[in-house]
Structure formats: structure tokens, C-alpha cells
């Protein structure tokens, strides 16, 4: 794996990188998947949907909507406190449920996963389920590829975020950057499913305002916003692919918050085997420890956020990128 010369020199000098780390090899997951399956073919038995996905999503959706109705007369301070310490957990859980559904890991029929994703989207307040799947699958197929993988920050973000103060702002608003980046850098024409997602979501939002008032709707939006910003659960946005060590571009997290986040912390395992549902990813590491135990990993997402903000050498440029092959560019046009 190669790194951008400027980025390496900047890190060695203890200053923030002025360019991305550039790799001149393929992303590591496809080759590792082949090696693991050659040595541990029983891992294929883990493939397939999570039979309890619908139940888990339904509980989270109904609990969050019910909580919103209970807060219809709450003060802004109470809304913010409940949103940060409770609603954020549910909405972030649902965001990661949508991530799970983007890989068709609730039902074997893709259209059922799409409908469930639209349902899971309801408490989030903003229609995003269908659009997320479009871009997320490209993140898996073309990890780090310049102009295709919209998980990588833009040049504008990287040039703006240069110190602890601006990094703190970026972390606080990272959900906005995450959501808006592809719409500005690589817009895709909306299709029928986006229209359905939008219609269903706006109908729920309007009903929430009509029958329970603006405070109930504000609680849902606050839960989404604070849960995606300076919040322990949002640490996974940074921990997954931000390069803290030049030789590694994907990192796993093995901590208790996996229980609330569809085990998205098992991120090397997830990229190696995106057809395995989150609750089984720990088995991949148990079956093939020789492939994972030597990789750097985390035990605290809060610590990752702190490291990202305080480490002067780390910022939005701390991502691995690779040049797009011509074939990949044509597929994504």
C-alpha cells in the first residue's frame, strides 16, 4: 500500500496533512475475503438475513414515535436533553438499521428490505433511506476511489478543517457533510423509490406536526442531529476509515456500543463479508482470528472523536484514496 508523499511528510513533521494518502493497490477487503474463505469455508454458513431485523426495527420506530408524542408540550431544554441521552440512541440505531438493509440483510427479497428501510427512516425525520443505499454500495465496491466513494471528505472540507476548533465544528456537523456531500459532488437523478421515500416521510412529518405539534417533530430532528454529531455513537463515522496509521485504511471497534448499533463496529469484518448480518460478524473474527487480531482496532468511539480533534496530524485528509480505473468510472456514470 502506498501513501501520498506529501501526507506522509506532513505526518512525520507533526503537522496536518495537505493531501490524502494515495494507495496504488486495490482495496484490501476482496483479497482478504478470498483468503479467509479458502481457509475457512464454513464462514459461508453465516451469510443471509437477520430473522429478527423487522422486530428490532419496529420496536425502535414505535418507541421513538411514541416518545415524540409524549414530548409535545416539553420545553426546548427538555427536548434537547431527552434527544441527546435517549432519542439519539434510537435514531442512530435506525440509521444503522438502514445501513444493514442497504445490504438486504432483513429479507431475501430486495424490495422488502427497501420498504423496511423506508419504515425505519420515519423517526429520522428526513428522507434518506433509498438515496443512502445508492451511494453506500459504491463505497463498498469502490472503497476510497476518487470521485466515486462519497464516504471520503471533499477537498473543500479538508481545506476548511485545519485545527482543533474547526475539527470540533466539523464533528458537530458531520452528519450534514455526510448527507450533503454526495448531492454536491456526485448527484444522481432521483427515481421512483426516492419519490416514495420522500412522500411517506413527509406524510409522517406532516401528521406529527398536525396531531402532536412542532415540538414532537423537533424532538425527532434533534435526535437525528445530536446523535450524528458530538456523540459517542457517531464516533463510528471517524473510526471506520480515517487513517491514524498509514498502513491501515479500515478499523474495527470492539466495544459495548456494538449492541446498540447493529454491530457496525466490526467494520473490517463487515467490508470483508457484507452479506453477513451484524449480529454474526463477531463469529467471523472468532473463526479467523489470524486475519484480524493483528489489525489495529478501537475499544472506545468517544476516544476516537477526542483523538481526531486533538491530534494535529489528523483531519479530513486522513483518508486513503486511489485513482479510479477506467472501467469503474464508466460503471458509475
Tell me the pTM: 0.92
Domain ranges, residue 115: 21-323
pLDDT of residue 90: 98
| 8 Å CB contact between 119 and 55 | no
3-state SS, residue 129: helix
Strands (E), 149-201: none
pLDDT category, 1, cuts 50, 70, 90?
Answer: very low
Cα–Cα distance measured from residue 149 to residue 30, given in angstroms and rounded to the nearest whole number: 16
Each residue of 39-80: pLDDT tens digit? 999 999 999 999 999 999 999 999 999 999 999 999 999 999
pLDDT of residue 12: 57
Each residue of 103-161: pLDDT tens digit? 999 999 999 999 999 999 999 999 999 999 999 999 999 999 999 999 999 999 998 99
Cα–Cα distance measured from residue 303 to residue 239, given in angstroms and rounded to the nearest whole number: 10
Q: Count the domains in the chain.
A: 1
pLDDT of residue 18: 87
pLDDT value at 11 more than 70: no
Each residue of 255-309: pLDDT tens digit? 999 999 999 999 999 999 999 999 999 999 999 999 999 999 999 999 999 999 9
DSSP 145: B
Q: Which residues pair with 322 in a beta bridge?
A: 145
In a domain, 307, yes or no: yes
pLDDT category, 7, cuts 50, 70, 90?
Answer: low
In a domain, 2, yes or no: no
Helix (H) or strand (E) holding 27: none
pLDDT of residue 325: 77
6-42 burial by CB neighbour count: b if 16+ within 10 A, else e? Answer: ebbebbeeeebbebbbbbeeebbbeebbeebeeeeee
Q: Are strands 21-22 and 320-321 parallel, antiparallel or unpaired?
A: parallel
In a domain, 15, yes or no: no
Each residue of 190-215: pLDDT tens digit? 999 999 999 999 999 999 999 999 99
| 8 Å CB contact between 18 and 10 | yes
Identify the residue with better confidence: 256 or 9. Answer: 256
Amino acid at each position: 500500500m502506498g501513501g501520498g508523499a506529501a501526507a506522509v511528510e506532513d505526518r512525520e513533521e507533526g503537522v496536518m496533512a495537505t493531501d490524502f494518502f494515495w494507495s496504488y493497490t486495490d482495496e484490501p477487503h476482496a483479497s482478504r475475503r478470498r483468503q479467509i474463505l479458502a481457509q475457512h469455508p464454513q464462514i459461508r454458513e453465516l451469510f443471509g438475513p437477520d430473522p429478527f431485523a423487522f422486530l428490532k426495527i419496529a420496536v425502535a420506530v414505535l418507541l421513538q414515535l411514541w416518545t415524540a408524542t409524549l414530548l409535545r408540550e416539553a420545553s426546548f431544554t427538555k427536548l434537547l436533553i431527552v434527544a441527546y441521552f435517549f432519542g439519539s440512541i434510537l435514531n442512530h440505531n435506525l440509521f444503522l438499521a438502514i445501513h444493514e438493509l442497504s445490504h438486504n440483510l432483513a429479507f431475501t427479497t430486495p424490495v422488502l428490505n427497501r420498504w423496511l428501510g423506508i419504515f425505519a427512516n420515519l423517526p429520522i425525520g428526513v428522507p434518506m433511506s433509498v438515496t443512502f443505499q445508492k451511494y453506500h454500495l459504491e463505497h463498498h465496491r469502490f472503497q476510497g476511489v476518487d470521485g466515486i466513494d462519497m464516504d471520503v471528505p471533499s477537498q473543500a472540507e479538508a481545506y476548511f478543517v485545519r485545527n482543533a476548533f474547526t475539527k470540533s465544528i466539523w464533528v458537530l456537523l458531520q452528519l450534514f457533510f455526510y448527507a450533503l456531500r454526495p448531492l454536491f459532488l456526485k448527484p444522481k437523478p432521483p427515481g421512483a423509490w426516492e419519490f416514495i421515500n420522500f412522500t411517506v416521510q413527509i406524510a409522517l412529518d406532516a401528521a406529527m406536526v398536525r396531531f402532536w405539534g412542532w415540538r414532537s417533530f423537533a424532538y425527532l430532528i434533534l435526535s437525528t442531529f445530536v446523535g450524528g454529531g458530538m456523540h459517542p455513537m457517531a464516533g463510528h463515522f471517524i473510526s471506520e476509515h480515517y487513517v491514524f496509521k498509514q498502513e491501515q485504511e479500515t478499523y474495527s471497534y470492539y466495544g459495548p456500543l456494538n449492541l446498540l448499533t447493529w454491530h457496525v463496529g466490526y467494520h473490517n469484518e463487515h467490508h470483508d463479508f457484507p452479506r453477513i448480518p451484524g449480529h454474526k460478524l463477531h463469529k467471523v473474527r472468532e473463526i479467523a482470528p489470524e486475519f484480524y487480531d493483528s489489525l489495529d482496532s478501537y475499544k472506545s468511539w468517544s476516544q476516537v472523536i477526542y483523538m481526531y480533534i486533538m491530534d494535529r496530524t489528523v483531519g479530513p485528509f486522513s483518508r486513503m484514496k486511489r485513482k479510479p480505473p477506467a472501467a469503474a468510472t464508466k460503471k458509475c456514470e
